Amino acid sequence: DGGITQSPKYLFRKEGQNVTLSCEQNLNHDAMYWYRQDPGQGLRLIYYSQIVNDFQKGDIAEGYSVSREKKESFPLTVTSAQKNPTAFYLCASSTRQGKIDEQFFGPGTRLTVL
Amino acid sequence: GQSLEQPSEVTAVEGAIVQINCTYQTSGFYGLSWYQQHDGGAPTFLSYNALDGLEETGRFSSFLSRSDSYGYLLLQELQMKDSASYFCALNRGFQKLVFGTGTRLLVSP
């Protein structure tokens, strides 16, 4: 079955530590995205990538970094520079050929900073 | 910049029809989407309006009026499983989405 996987589902981090969240898709989608969701809030775009080896900052990129070395993978690193990293992180992908504006989301990673 | 406003919560009973509104302020966008998210789950796509008017997909319909800076999601024949949060989202280009504040729908028997 095609889809998006994120790991781990729950992640605990000590203050001052960097942590990397995994996102893998086998939908053959060119575009991938990272969002952050805080309790009772909408999703906010952190980074996005339209093609391999290229990515752009979203609305809240400070304290985060990404890479896109393979079409299937778009890992997100939450650095110690991110002041309030506790949140629900969602990865998504989409095809650039579609007429319908649909993004497919992974199950998410819930990050808690201790 | 863009901002999208939605009611925080809507309640309805099974079998009823409910409308969730989305008003926005933006200088330009390509389309308006709607996503459903159950508690702790991933958002799933429901509907998309690139043009003004009504789009119907089964029990769900979505409407967009660019002149009024307004859209809505219409859910018919409500079921208990429709209890979830619903988000509108604007496409700013290259499918960069900005999401609304979300509306929590509670369906009671």
Give B6's DSSP letter.
-
Does any CB of chain B come closer than 8 Å to the CB of residue A38? no
Query: Which pLDDT value is given to residue B2?
Result: 74
Query: What are the angstrom distances between the C-alpha of A82 and each of A46, A114, B40, B96?
Result: 12, 14, 23, 22
Tokens at B99, concatenated: 């999401």
Query: Which pLDDT value is given to residue A25?
Result: 97
Query: Which pLDDT value is given to residue A1?
Result: 66
| Distance of alpha carbon A65 from the chain centroid | 10
pLDDT less than 70: residues of chain A: 1, 97-100
Tens digits of per-residue pLDDT, A21-47?
999 999 999 999 999 999 888 999 999
Q: Is A71 helix (H, G, I), strand (E, B) or coil?
A: coil
Query: Which pLDDT value is given to residue A99?
Result: 60
Query: Which pLDDT value is given to residue A97?
Result: 65
Q: In A, which residues are within 8 Å of B95 by CB distance?
A: 31, 33, 48, 94, 96, 101, 103
Do the chains contact at B97 and A94, CB–CB below 8 Å? no
A81 burial type by CB count under 10 A (0-12 exposed, 13-18 middle, 19+ buried): exposed
Q: In B, which residues are within 8 Å of A102 by CB distance?
A: 33, 45, 48
pLDDT less than 50: residues of chain B: none
Do the chains contact at B41 and A107, CB–CB below 8 Å? yes
Residue closest to A5 by CA, chosen among A26, A19, A20 = A26
